[in-house]
Amino acid sequence: MKILILSFYYEPDLSAGSFRTTALVSAMLDQLMTDAQVDVITTLPNRYSSFNCEALEQEDYPRLTINRISLPLHNSGILDQSKAFLRFTKCVLLMLKGKNYDLVFATSSRLMTAVLGSYVAKRTSSRLYLDIRDIFVESIKEILPKKIRWLIHPLFSSLEGWAIRSADGVNLVSAGFLPYFNDRYSPKKFSTFTNGIDEEFIKNQAKGYVVSDSKVLNVVYAGNMGEAQGLHLIIPALSIRFANQLHFKLIGDGGRKQQLISAIESMGCHNVEILPPVKRVELIKIYQSADVLFLHLNDYAAFRKVLPSKLFEYGALGKPIWAGVAGYAAEFITENLSNAAVFMPCDLDDAVKSFERLEMVTQPRKAFIEKFARINLMKKMATNIISFADVRSS
């Protein structure tokens, strides 16, 4: 059996897609026969221009080959991302000349990796399994300027339809996506294997009940700083409102980082610290030193369907969670996470009110960890994926 994995991100890069795909490949190798072969095609670390991490362009292991494509330096703009993906596509197609697979697996947050996977599967006469991590068509409808949206939205909507209908199996990373996909692609069936908690966070989970005695509370956010997160729309105002009570530590990079910095400077905020991306070992230490972990999504309808991967690592460490989210993410937090306060995105007054509901304590969330341990979720997903390859190879 031969399986091809297409993922724009893979460890040691820093992204939810990277950690997810790496864990999935490990789970698949645990279940595949000794004569199976898994080929991963991905990129050299490129998630953040401010984060550099060495990785080999090719790694060969028993039953596993990893090929990483070098991309031109880019930021998070649409044009830069398009150029990077075109380079990725060109290299993938060159690498796959003359090769055949039983199954192509493509994991996609910006749709085009799914479209590429669909094309490769047809070209290699393979079965196709897609892992959809974002409703790209919905997102661009709200983020793109109107003057280009009228042209681009129908194009991407058609590409999405072609990719989804081409797939033998489709997983949605958030159950909040189900109404959208069921409405458009019935009677196709969808699985919903979510993101999960990696072993590094489980090892560092809260062991007991600890009350914070900080006079100025340390609020930490780590991750992307783009339009989707909308930090530039909420952090400056929050820092002014809590000027003598909270210190905000923001770790990451992204397309709206400079706008965030400019807003902080123009409003005279003195309690906000912005740091570049860090490796996970260091990040966990920063989380553990925090009093509160912060999360925010911009006030777009498309983001009411998503389930931020950040919630899983936040939840594992037992810290209070302060989250500006709506829709499915808010429902998920209410159902699964204790000592978490939700407020409407970009709503300063609601954010202030919700903060008052938090207890400044660190406490174990054992049931949450048992339910969402990544290793268990990926075992189930790997079994599901391999079942599609088995049909082809039998």
Q: Give 22-33 pLDDT, tens digit per residue.
A: 999 999 999 999
Q: Tell whether the model's pLDDT for residue 131 goes beyond 70.
A: yes
Q: Tell whether the model's pLDDT for residue 74 goes beyond 70.
A: no
Distance from C-alpha of 328 to C-alpha of 147, rounded to nearest angstrom: 30
Q: Tell whether the model's pLDDT for residue 82 goes beyond 90.
A: no
CB 32 within 8 A of CB 20: no
Instruction: Give this prediction's pTM.
Output: 0.92
Q: Nearest-CA neighbor of 40 among 147, 111, 113?
A: 113
Domains in the chain, CATH or no CATH each: 2-196+374-393 (3.40.50.2000), 199-371 (3.40.50.2000)
Mean pLDDT (the chain) is: 93
Higher pLDDT, 151 or 113: 113
Q: How far is CA 334 from the centre of its chain?
A: 20
Residue partners of 64: CB distance under 8 A and separation at least 6: 25, 29, 37, 38, 39, 40
pLDDT of residue 151: 83
pLDDT, tens digit, 9 for 90 and up, residues 150-161: 888 899 999 999
Distance from C-alpha of 62 to C-alpha of 160, rounded to nearest angstrom: 35
pLDDT, mean of residues 270-275:
96
Place of tokens 């969670």: 321
Looking at the chain, how many residues does it have?
Answer: 394
Q: Is the torsion defined by CA of 18, 21, 27, 30 positive or negative?
A: negative
Q: Tell whether the model's pLDDT for residue 90 goes beyond 90.
A: yes
pLDDT, tens digit, 9 for 90 and up, residues 200-242: 999 999 999 999 999 999 999 999 999 999 999 999 999 999 9
Q: Which DSSP letter does residue 295 get?
A: E
Strands 169-172 and 127-132: parallel
pLDDT, tens digit, 9 for 90 and up, residues 341-361: 999 999 999 999 999 999 999
pLDDT of residue 390: 77
Q: Tell whether the model's pLDDT for residue 52 goes beyond 80.
A: no
CB 295 within 8 A of CB 310: yes
Distance from C-alpha of 150 to C-alpha of 144, rounded to nearest angstrom: 10
pLDDT, tens digit, 9 for 90 and up, residues 137-153: 998 888 777 778 888 88
